Structure 1
Amino acid sequence: MTDLLRWSTPDLALTFALDDGPVRLVAVRETGQPTGGEPDPSQPLVEVSAVGHGHSSNRQAGTVLGQQLRYVRHDETPNTLRIVQEEPATGLRVTSVFEARAGVRAWTEASITGPGSLELTFLSSLVVGLASIDAELHSAANSWMAENRWSKRLLRDVLADIVSDSHQHVARSRHAVTGTNSWSTGEQLPIGVLVDRRTPYALGWQIEHNGPWHYELGETRRGGYLLLSGPTDHEHQWSVDVTADKPFTTVPVSLVAGTDAGGVFAALTRQRRAIRNRRPADDRMPVIFNDYMNTLLGDPTTEKLLPLIDAAADVGADYFCIDAGWYAEGDWWNTVGAWQPSTTRFPNGLAEVINRIHRHRMVPGLWLEPEVIGVRSPIAGELPDDAFLTRHGKRVAENGRYLLDLRSPAARGHLDSTVDKLIDEFGIGFFKFDNNSMTGPGTDKGGTSLGHGLLEHNRALLDWLDGLQTRHPDLLIENCASGAMRMDYAMLSRLHLQSTSDQEHPLLYAPISAAAPAAVLPEQAGHWAYPISGTTREEFTFALVNGIPGRLYLSGHLNRMAPAELELIRSALAAHRVILDDLDTLVPAWPLGLPTWTDEWIALSLNSPGTSYLTLWHRAPGPSTITLPLSRASVDPLFPAADNDWTYTWTADGLSVTTTTPEPSARVLRLTRTGDRT
């Protein structure tokens, strides 16, 4: 006999099957959403493998130990559900934890009930049964200067169909998406949305880890499964010993549901806001000027910075960040680590530049790459080997850098003293924390597997960030890793801002900017706006528009610009601040669908109940018309405010937009529904 355990949050309802087999998650629905086809009731909630208890498959599903788990008990509090299972032969105990937020956050805890140990080689964070694989998967590739490239595909196109009758086997093929190394989003985003093609049902997820992760989808006899996890042995050289006194906890994942892809992306937005460790300082959403992109490019000096500081203050920037190179006497790449201001770049000291920022009542910021020490840095010889990631006792070196191990007190002490000194000496209120070096599979220091050493380091990094913000509650930190190569919600649940790309071409930045809210909150999406003096008005405007529907991250040689160009920047900042007033409540939507890399027209709408901010990009030369399926509203050009080259007409099909410019162009509109206009 099967009992059903139903657990609901204000947003999500989960149903579990409890009987003499393993616990199964048999339904995930929006609270109040009608049920449709139900998932395969045979798929275990937890999949787990161990040395001596493997299974012959590339899949992480179908594990022997997972099938042998048995329900023990469950415990409920107002916001948490814990389901305990045990495997009698090994004494393995696993607890599945579900935490109510805007969606559900979940993870798995493992230990041994008696003496001895078990070397785990895989443990899922969550496995969900699917009613069918007749579904469309939305997922995103992510790479340097080409971030947030969303696509959709049919699951049946990647999963072999070999089931012909009830006694034959189901295909063991899988669709696997895996993040490797310390760049959690270096190739793929740990996010997906699955849309059922038969019923109005969609499921969304994200894996919240700043290192390796894995998810896979596969077919079962009566449907399919979605499996979410952190590092694995098969994919990441990970294993860990668990005992009664040494438990292990997987990385957390988030789950949401809805009726379509748009509803699920909206639900993911609400979930990200719910899991964010927001501080009072995060209520400030300053406009930050950074001297790097299309400007100084890692070569700051007093002579170059002082006029830039004056110009940034004049257009209305709130913070001024000095980017890479401020510490370097020559090449900035392999000398990082000591973090002492260069005496040749700043003959009168860095304080002269910082004081100019303060005098303009801007907050000074510095670029820092805290996790690396250049092989030519004096600190490389002063810190012990224990401060670094090592393999077989040798320091891991990557392209002229050693990689700190944040489990080490020596490494932590070095970073704490570095950051505290810069804050105390210069009044630094903002850091751009970059990460341009990958670790490889990890470290075996202390006898761990490579993957588990990296997992422990990644968690120590998060702990270090938590401690830093506790000591300096007013400090704001940008998350950067060669742009968005570590754009995950382990990091972003803590940090203020995410650099969305290093892309230097405005036309190529447009799809990155437009698609970013599918992966990161609009109020955390730091989009570069780097207008170039001497370009046409439309080119200049296009570069500014890229930054407006998120967190405009200003750059460019403002001190060389004509008065009309500076006035256009001021106008863009004014429009941006209108959106900033509501940004942390707005929900993204894409009237033309999530953009692809080569789309001619791109549209992003940031919505509240009464008002929408619609950003439109046209990336081809010459006149063009597009119709967006939107509800009728009043249309106000927000940027540029005075515009005769774009026209807007409501038709029975929606908003018809026409551009007559002979070159690519972009606009930002405010749409106010009847009765809501202010």
Structure 2
Amino acid sequence: MGNPRMNSLHWGDESLAIELAWDDASAVGVRSIRSGGAHVAVTDVVPLVEILTVGAGHEPASDRLDHTQIGRSLRYVAHVAESDATRARLRITQLDTARGIEATITLESPNGSGCIRAEVEVVNVGRSTAVLRSVTSWSSGFGDTVEDRVEASVDVIEPTGAAGPADRSGFESWSLVSGTGEWLGENRWSRRGMREAGIAAIREDLTGHDRRSSLGAVSYGTWSTGGALPVAGVESTEIGAAWLWQIEHNGGWRWEIGENQSGGVFSLSGPTDRDHSFTLALAPGERFTTVPVTVAFASTFTAALENLTGYRRGARLPHLDNEWLSVVFNDYMNTLNGDPTTERLLPLIDAAAEVGAEIFCIDAGWYDDSGSWWGSVGEWQPSTVRFPAGLDEVIEHIRSRGMTPGLWLEPEVVGVRSPLVDRLPDEAFLQRFGERVEEHDRYHLDLRHPAVIEHLDAVVDRLVDDFGIGFFKFDYNINPGAGTDLEADSPGHGLLLHNRAHLAWLDSVLGRHPELIIENCSSGAMRMDFAMLSRLQMQSTSDQQDFRLYPPIAAAAPVSMLPEQAASWAYPQPEMTEEEVAFCLVTGLLGRYYLSGYLNRMTAGQRALVREAVAAAKQLRGAISRSTPFWPTGLPNGDGAVSLGLADGQTLYASVWNRGGSEPIRLELPRLRGRDVVVDTVFPRELAEWTTQWNGEEGILTVRAVDAETSARTFRITTSTS
């Protein structure tokens, strides 16, 4: 017998086109992908959908997301391709006949985005219950260069011959680009070769089986970015190709990389049995939908991130502030630190208005009468002790100075000493074995419960209606762990249901109050996933209080979020030198401007620097909301000089932080190679100018900092003819 007859389907547009392939003996998988000049083909087509159940595990035995028996047993049933003026959509249905499992993957690509969003619906069409342990939203090989066989975008099935093998797998030519985060140490990125990353060469080819292990990253509980990050990618400079992905979920997720004999594979999933105590008993006729993921492909990691940045802008909830980027002053960081009073706030409000802030947010503590508020939160009623004449007095003063009033809230928790503990039923809280889950003197609300939604809606509506609040900082400072087993098949399943209810609640809040601006804060940035970022207008990037340690966090933030969402604290203090003040102010400049600090205690010269920075931020916000990020000195690794670049068409902006080095700093700007440029200082313009030297042949801008040990500048680089 000859090889089975292979079918293929080409789908996409010029920005991103994929070829899917299958036959009577194999599942549907990605055989090739193209974006612009980048093109790879996969020698060994792996199943696009992998499903692990209690009754059907792996083959051969392993701990991977892929190599599942059901994944390999799925067979093509039908597909539907649709398109409109904005996007193309492809649905492919497959069936494991023996086990009665149907899987439909939906691929969606906004026109010209260079990205594909994917999710899978699993339906039990059999006669017995299937207990799910994991379902991927995407799985495919990295690919390698082969002869060109991706044709123009079509949406019909065409038979082809069997795919021929590539000359080599090319696995070792790929590098992993991935990040980790922790409280005060967010957005730490690295680029490592596959062997360096931990996938050792073990000669599994001698066994005739693919390796059993994988290199994986997972979240824990509801801090979706509290450790590993759900955004990552692989890049081969040798091949000239890069994949980049994001898992769009505010709870449990897993991504992993495996090495097969034929090359590399990456798989993306929501919660799993292995990592998140997730199992789901799917009775006959029941269905389950995975968390969405988005995959970008281009010639380089930076180019793939440009595509993903454009996708994020198009996919986020429309909001007036998405482009306006209001300048926010918040009283917390290195300033009042959760201890606001009328006496302390009024001079800060005046100073913030003087430098040009547009929103003034009263942070934690505004609801506390006891002086020990951590374990008593939940009612969210204004303190009468802190504000003797009422919170109204402070709110009205904010409004009288031309700013929008804002408040801090931590809506998902109730302190163990809060009166609300006894008013809400036990079913309103995340539980394990009938006991409320407690963490750091707080109980965690279960947003599936109608009493919880009623309570939270009443809080938000009351603060908006009674005080005219136009800005909320939604904080989140505990992690309940695996989840809840109340009305769920497993703790991971209960947490997934809660996660989805949380997103639905956010949608309802912004549906009722469409002009409300909400900051996504979670102990800094412990939950900066795209499920949250697609809905909320800004994201705090850290709680880091040492201004010298903040630049790497701020510079790397646009890998995970839009530049205009990245709110990195600019918290200058009166005891700082002018160069240190400028250093702090530069940290937030190429993002959402987020001020704090005792501006009211500053000298006139220091306050003038702050005023200049705010003015620069307002001038930049149009460019920032259109820009794509790049890193002239490479993704920061925590040491030495740090830089962040934003490209707005042919105009480039670069913030550069010198943290003690005396050597010149080389900024690589390859897109301007061979051209003459003009370099302007955006901020600070009143302090000593850094020297700059342009090498057009190499595309290198060399900058030399002033003598100050700690200093920073933001530059605008344009071509001399622009």
* TM-score class normalised by the smaller sequence: over 0.9
Match of 1:357 among 380, 395, 398: 398
Match of 1:133 among 171, 184, 198: 171
Query: Which residue of 2 is the match for residue 149 of structure 1?
Result: 188
Query: Which residue of 2 is the match for residue 641 of structure 1?
Result: 685
For residues 421-436 of structure 1, the aligned pairs below 5 Å read 421-436=462-477
Say which is worse superposed, 201-210 or 262-271, in terms of deviation. 262-271
8 Å contact kept, 1:516–1:525: yes
Query: Which residue of 1 is the match for residue 157 of structure 2?
Result: none
Q: CA deviation at 1:173?
A: 2.2
Query: Which residue of 1 is the match for residue 712 of structure 2?
Result: 666
What is the CA–CA distance in structure 1 between the aligned matches of 2:360 and 2:38, rounded to whole Å?
52
Q: CA deviation at 1:180?
A: 1.4
- 1:111 and 2:123 aligned: yes
Q: CA deviation at 1:165?
A: 5.1
8 Å contact kept, 2:32–2:42: no
Q: Mark the runs of 5 or more structure 2 residues left unpaired by the alignment.
A: 144-169
Query: Which residue of 1 is the match for residue 491 of structure 2?
Result: 450
Query: Which residue of 2 is the match for residue 261 of structure 1?
Result: 301
Q: Which one-letter code corresponds to 2:62 in the other structure?
A: S
Query: Which residue of 1 is the match for residue 50 of structure 2?
Result: 47
Query: Which residue of 1 is the match for residue 592 of structure 2?
Result: 551
Match of 2:67 among 56, 62, 65: 62
8 Å contact kept, 1:12–1:28: no
For 1:284-313, what per-residue CA distance to the aligned partner results, in whole angstroms no more than 9, with x for missing partners? 311000000010000000110011111111
TM-aligned CA distance change 1:511 to 1:167, over 3 Å = closer
TM-aligned CA distance change 1:637 to 1:423, over 3 Å = same
8 Å contact kept, 2:138–2:268: yes
Q: CA deviation at 1:264?
A: 1.5
- 1:291 and 2:331 aligned: yes
Query: Which residue of 1 is the match for residue 76 of structure 2?
Result: 71
For residues 175-194 of structure 1, the aligned pairs below 5 Å read 175-194=215-234
What is the CA–CA distance in structure 1 between the aligned matches of 2:595 and 2:213, rounded to whole Å?
47
Q: Which one-letter code corresponds to 1:426 in the other structure?
A: F
8 Å contact kept, 2:55–2:130: no
Query: Which residue of 1 is the match for residue 480 of structure 2?
Result: 439
For residues 588-627 of structure 1, the aligned pairs below 5 Å read 588-598=629-639, 600-620=640-660, 623-627=662-666
Q: Which one-letter code corresponds to 1:110 in the other structure?
A: V
For residues 158-557 of structure 1, the aligned pairs below 5 Å read 158-163=198-203, 168-329=208-369, 330-557=371-598
What is the CA–CA distance in structure 2 between the aligned matches of 1:289 and 1:153, rounded to whole Å?
39
For 1:189-221, what per-residue CA distance to the aligned partner results, in whole angstroms no more than 9, with x for missing partners? 101120125311111101000011001101112
What is the CA–CA distance in structure 1 between the aligned matches of 2:131 and 2:481, rounded to whole Å?
22
The percentage of aligned residue pairs carrying the same residue is: 47
Say which is worse superposed, 662-671 or 367-376, in terms of deviation. 662-671
Q: TM-score, normalised by structure 1?
A: 0.97
TM-aligned CA distance change 1:527 to 1:226, over 3 Å = same
8 Å contact kept, 1:8–1:31: no
Query: Which residue of 2 is the match for residue 570 of structure 1?
Result: 611
What is the CA–CA distance in structure 2 between the aligned matches of 1:164 and 1:296, rounded to whole Å?
59
RMSD in angstroms over aligned alpha carbons? 1.5
For 1:7-57, what per-residue CA distance to the aligned partner results, in whole angstroms no more than 9, with x for missing partners? 113421111112113433334534443534x22434111111111212331
* 2:533 match: secondary structure: coil
What is the CA–CA distance in structure 2 between the aligned matches of 1:26 and 1:240, rounded to whole Å?
28
What is the CA–CA distance in structure 2 between the aligned matches of 1:595 and 1:165, rounded to whole Å?
37
What is the CA–CA distance in structure 1 between the aligned matches of 2:446 and 2:217, rounded to whole Å?
27
8 Å contact kept, 1:45–1:128: yes
Q: CA deviation at 1:665?
A: 0.6
Q: Which one-letter code corresponds to 2:665 in the other structure?
A: I
Q: CA deviation at 1:535?
A: 1.1
Q: TM-score, normalised by structure 2?
A: 0.91
* 1:415 match: secondary structure: helix
For 1:431-452, what per-residue CA distance to the aligned partner results, in whole angstroms no more than 9, with x for missing partners? 0000001011000001420001
Q: Which one-letter code corresponds to 2:422 in the other structure?
A: G
What is the CA–CA distance in structure 2 between the aligned matches of 1:34 and 1:315, rounded to whole Å?
47
Query: Which residue of 1 is the match for residue 101 of structure 2?
Result: 92
What is the CA–CA distance in structure 1 between the aligned matches of 2:102 and 2:283, rounded to whole Å?
10
Say which is worse superposed, 45-54 or 486-495, in terms of deviation. 45-54
Q: CA deviation at 1:645?
A: 4.4
Q: Which one-letter code corresponds to 2:70 in the other structure?
A: L
Query: Which residue of 2 is the match for residue 561 of structure 1?
Result: 602
What is the CA–CA distance in structure 2 between the aligned matches of 1:266 and 1:403, rounded to whole Å?
37
Q: CA deviation at 1:602?
A: 1.2
Q: Which one-letter code corresponds to 2:106 in the other structure?
A: V
Say which is worse superposed, 480-489 or 324-333, in terms of deviation. 324-333
Q: Which one-letter code corresponds to 1:67 in the other structure?
A: R
Q: Which one-letter code corresponds to 2:188 in the other structure?
A: R
8 Å contact kept, 1:17–1:41: no
8 Å contact kept, 1:160–1:173: no
What is the CA–CA distance in structure 2 between the aligned matches of 1:491 and 1:583, rounded to whole Å?
20
What is the CA–CA distance in structure 1 between the aligned matches of 2:565 and 2:668, rounded to whole Å?
28
For 1:396-424, what per-residue CA distance to the aligned partner results, in whole angstroms no more than 9, with x for missing partners? 11110010000000111100001100000
Q: CA deviation at 1:582?
A: 1.5
- 1:5 and 2:43 aligned: no
8 Å contact kept, 1:635–1:670: yes
Say which is worse superposed, 25-34 or 135-144, in terms of deviation. 25-34
Q: Mark the runs of 5 or more structure 1 residues left unpaired by the alignment.
A: none
Match of 2:28 among 19, 24, 36: 24
8 Å contact kept, 1:476–1:496: yes
